[in-house]
Amino acid sequence: MKKNLIVSSADNKYFKLLCELINSIKFENKDQNYDIAVLSINLSNENLEILNNLSIQYKEPVWNVKVPKYKIQGRDHLKTQVSRFYLEEYFPGYENYIWMDSDIWINSFDEFKLYERGSSTAGFAITPQVDRAYHQLVNIKWIGPFPSKINSINYKNISKSISFKEGRNYAGYLTLNAGCFSYNKNFDGMNIIRKNLEKAALKGRIFGSDQVALCLSVFRDKIITELLPSYCNWMCDFHLPKYSLSSKKFVEPYIPNNPIACMHLAGMDRDRFNDSILHTIQSLEGNKLDLSLRFNHH
């Protein structure tokens, strides 16, 4: 049995980003202990041929849980909100499965290996969206001196898909970023995640049902989970990283400036679809650099 499989997905719009993720894995994966697979969302024959030439296995995802047809409306890309929790059914034969959204790329493999370590020891590993550099913890709307609305991802999604009571209970809990996580094939907690996922997708929106399932499974149902440090899945939209000229790696912006495992471009559409966008990045050596956040520039 093989040990580790990294799985991502893309449609034709995200295919360039997917290729950059694949290239970052191949560039960093010196010991060749990680295979790659793709859930194809109606990829063109031309793009499928590229995957074939790269020896990347792929399959079209299905709806692994029951979802009302009126919620789908031709949006096949939403299948991956569900299928990312059933990876061993699509690509059997591995010990650890690591899901990565296609707008992520690997910057430093030594830190990325914490996902394998977490799934091998605890069974499940994921990175919360919290860090000393993410300065805004919650978005609150005010009417005069009184808070009128607390915009919490957990509250919004759980209230719509489960209940207002559960939404309030977990409104202030950490958001677990579903863009990158790992699990072991023998992890029993996946059954709990899948049950919560089916409930969330049946009643609420499909998009965000993954976040609901993760929050309730980890914090309410207490599945065993390894919560990884933020540099394992760095949200560039929350705070730009720094850069080390000596190692040629992006690093977290505050000491000890750990190398960042995964660069995540969620919320950064200009960067995701235009690889010529540059940002002013502070280097550890004291320089200001104009750098792209995309892998193909590094």
- For 60, residues 6+ apart whose C-beta sits below 8 A from its C-beta are 39, 40, 41, 42
- The whole-number pLDDT of residue 160 equals 83
> 130 pLDDT exceeds 80?
yes
Band of pLDDT at residue 153, cut at 50, 70 and 90: confident
State the pLDDT confidence band at 33, using cuts at 50, 70 and 90.
Answer: confident
Q: What is the mean pLDDT of the chain?
A: 91
Question: What does pTM read for this prediction?
Answer: 0.93
Residue showing tokens 């049950």: 195
Report the pLDDT value the prediction gives residue 199, as an integer from 0 to 100.
Answer: 87
What's the pLDDT score for residue 77?
Answer: 73
Q: Which of the residue ranges 12-26, 30-44, 196-210, 239-253 would you say has the lowest mean pLDDT?
A: 196-210
3-class DSSP state for residue 9?
A: strand
* CA–CA separation, 56 and 21 (whole Å): 12
pLDDT, average across residues 30-43: 90
Q: Which helix (H) or strand (E) holds 98?
A: strand 94-100
Sign (positive or negative) of CA dihedral 96, 20, 259, 128: negative
Look-up: residue for tokens 């559960």? 166
Which pLDDT value is given to residue 242?
98
Residue 291 has pLDDT above 90, yes or no: yes
Nearest to 96 by CA among 79, 72, 115: 115
| Helix intervals (H) in the chain | 15-28, 45-53, 69-72, 80-83, 87-90, 109-112, 114-121, 153-161, 164-169, 189-203, 209-215, 269-272
For the chain, list the domains and their CATH numbers: 2-132+173-230 (3.90.550.10), 240-259+268-297 (no CATH)
Residue 148 banded pLDDT, cuts 50, 70, 90 = low
d(CA 175, CA 98): 19
User: What pLDDT is attached to residue 177?
Assistant: 94
